[in-house]
Amino acid sequence: MLQRQPKLLLMETSGISPDMAFRLASAFGTSPELWAGMQMQYDLYQASKAKRPCIHRFVSAFPA
C-alpha cells in the first residue's frame, strides 16, 4: 500500500475505492463490504447536507 493513501484518507481528501476497501480488509482482518459501506454512508451524509431544488414525485397515469 502506498504511504500517501492512508494520509489522504485521514485528511479526508480521498475516499475509499473498491481496491482500497480490499486492501484495508486484508490489513485489518475485516470485509471489503465494511469499508465500502462506511464510505457510502459518509458520501450519503455529505450529499444530504447539500441544498437542492424541490423535486416533485412522479404520478402514475394508471391507477393501481
Residues 6+ apart with CB under 8 A from 20: 5, 9, 35
pLDDT tens digits, 6-50 = 665 665 667 899 999 999 999 999 999 999 999 999 999 999 999
Please tell me the predicted confidence (pLDDT) of residue 40.
96
List domains and CATH numbers for the chain. Answer: 4-47 (1.10.260.40)
CA 27 to CA 49: how far, in whole Å?
Answer: 32
Higher pLDDT, 44 or 60: 44
CA 2 to CA 38: how far, in whole Å?
Answer: 21
The alpha carbons of the chain give a radius of gyration, in whole angstroms, of 18
- The position carrying cell 447539500 is 50
